[in-house]
Amino acid sequence: MKIISLFAAAILASGCSSNIIEMTPEPTVQVYDLSDLEGDGIISARDKCPATALGAEINNDGCSTDNLEKVRIKLLVNFDNDSAFVDGKYYAEIKALADLMKEYSSITVMIEGHTSIVGTEQYNKQLSLNRADAVKQILVNQYAVDENRIDTIGFGFEQLLFEGNDEYVNAQNRRIVAEVDGAADIVDMKWTIYTVDHREQ
């Protein structure tokens, strides 16, 4: 009886083993091509503009948005008191502007010089112009931008960035602003080193 029970148990076990269901799922086969060869976030299959500028702001079709007409740019270029000398640490900012002008040959730029309220109005007007001219000379001599595409103007302390008369405020007001014009062909970029004051659509 004991032998029969063991034999029956063996038969039962072998019968159960034949009914085990394999639970390992089949690998999913990707049917559609979801590759983004341009790397702009739009899959190549629906990208209508496969050659947009690197870093351009794009729409759902992968095309850049060309809607800028004029941009006022505050370059990160500041000056010591009563000085128009441009420190070498600011050259990267100026080079970025030069690169933009080389890439888009139709644009021009107005370099604005500004001062703090220290000193007379007449003196600061000339000082601010000297600062603008100093930046222009770097664009022309250092980065080979056509001087005919660059104008300069000095505003003195007519357009202060901050009100006040302490060292921090005065240092911030001793600055350069570049107004890029004729920029209808410039694509709207996602990121830029510039601080944009405003855009005129």
Chain segment 111-152, per-residue pLDDT in tens: 999 999 999 999 999 999 999 999 999 999 999 999 999 999
pTM of the model: 0.61
Three-state secondary structure of the chain:
CHHHHHHHHHHHHHHHHCCCCCCCCCCCCCCCCCCCCCCCCCCHHHCCCCCCCCCECECCCCCECCCCCEEEEEEEEECCCCCCCCCHHHHHHHHHHHHHHHHCCCCEEEEEECCCCCCCHHHHHHHHHHHHHHHHHHHHHHCCCCHHHEEEEECCCCCCCCCCCCHHHHHHHCEEEEEEECCCCCCCECCCCCEEEEEEC
Complete domains list, the chain, with CATH:
25-65 (no CATH), 70-200 (3.30.1330.60)
Residue 186 has a pLDDT of 57
